[in-house]
Chains A and B, each alone.
Chain A
Amino acid sequence: MSERQLPAVGDQVVSQARTITDADIRTWAGLVHDYTTLHVDAETMRESFFGRPVAHGYIALNLAVGLMFPGLGEWYAPARAYRTTGWSDVRFLAPVHAEDTLRCRRTVLAAGEQGVDHLVEMVNQDDSVVLTAVEHLAGD
């Protein structure tokens, strides 16, 4: 049995920040083969409601994990193990554009021998929450 102390319900961490760039959007498009107009066509998007391309929602979702490293890595994934069993209620609340700066805020919702649930919030430079979700992690 692990001697690692379980996190307490209500524990909260905030990650370092990362500014999203045009290069990030294009890199992500290539990683998952998603060159949808919404994300990569500046000319078309100039005439749209958004006025410019919108970053893939998956970027914020995936950075919710990536931003845990290295500073919060041991808190999130002890011994760098893959512990996530799944996610629920992933909601994209506001668009993310190039030059927005995102942080990940995590709050422990539940903790027990069976596992840990995190409320995940991606927050931009204006303190607006752009994504919420619950991540389910297996127990140690």
Chain B
Amino acid sequence: MTATSAPGSGPAWFEDFSVGLEFTSPSRRLWDDDVLAYVRFTNDVRSVLDTPGHDRLRVPDMYLFSLSVGLLLHGTPGYIPDKFVAFFGFDTIEFRAAAHTGDVMCSVARVIATTERGRNGVVTYEHEARDDAGRQLVTSTHRILVARRNTDV
């Protein structure tokens, strides 16, 4: 598959998407404050209880994943397009490697399928987050519903 960057203003309608279109997030360092705030919010306490001898906190896997997708909203325009209708969910989420505070990560989402569905169309993304050493941290596939320009169906 050949990757192509999304245009400057980004896709808006379903017809603007094509297989290979790629959306890249900015990079972001993971801080102790991130982990502590996540732990306070979710009460998933594993990163902060009984962890003697560790000078860097383990980033909770689900936070790593959630943030990696959220960062895509700040990258290449159009990952969630103007004519977005609905989010279907995640077909797969796979944790590949652990991250710790101090690590820097960024994400990319690539279009791997586009399927017309009545007045809308389904865009399927393959997403991955890597750290600054190139390690793959988490991957997912997810689908969004986007309105079609031509609604004479």
Knowing A89-B91, A90-B90, A92-B87, say if A82 contacts B61 (CB, 8 Å): yes
What sequence of 0s and 1s flags, for each residue 62-89 of chain A, a beta carbon within 8 Å of any chain B beta carbon? Answer: 1101111110010001001110111111
Query: Is B153 interfacial (CB-CB < 8 Å)?
Result: no
Query: Is B67 interfacial (CB-CB < 8 Å)?
Result: yes
Contact, CB under 8 Å: A91 / B89: yes
Query: Is A99 interfacial (CB-CB < 8 Å)?
Result: no
Nearest neighbor of A91 in chain B, beta-carbon distance? B89
Q: Which of A24, A70, A80, A91 is in CB contact (< 8 Å) with B41?
A: A24
Query: Is A1 interfacial (CB-CB < 8 Å)?
Result: no
Contact, CB under 8 Å: B42 / A63: yes
What sequence of 0s and 1s flags, for each residue 15-35 of chain A, a beta carbon within 8 Å of any chain B beta carbon? Answer: 000000000100110111110
Work out how many contacts link A and B, with CB atoms closer than 8 A: 96
Interface size class of A (residues with CB under 8 A): 35 or more
Chain A residue numbers with a CB within 8 Å of B105 are none
Give A47 Cβ to nearest chain B Cβ, in Å: 17
Knowing A31-B67, A91-B89, say if A85 contacts B43 (CB, 8 Å): no
Query: Is A61 interfacial (CB-CB < 8 Å)?
Result: yes
Chain B residue numbers with a CB within 8 Å of A27 are 37, 41
Question: What is the CA–CA distance of A116 and B60 in the complex, to the nearest angstrom?
Answer: 19
Sampled A-B contacts (23; CB under 8 Å): A27-B37, A27-B41, A30-B37, A31-B34, A31-B38, A32-B67, A32-B70, A61-B62, A62-B42, A62-B63, A65-B44, A65-B62, A66-B41, A70-B43, A80-B45, A81-B46, A82-B58, A85-B95, A86-B94, A86-B95, A87-B93, A88-B91, A88-B92
Known: A57-B89, A69-B44, A92-B89. 18 other contacts (CB 8 A): A28-B41, A31-B66, A32-B67, A33-B71, A62-B63, A69-B45, A69-B46, A70-B43, A70-B45, A82-B46, A82-B58, A82-B60, A84-B61, A87-B92, A87-B93, A88-B90, A89-B91, A90-B91
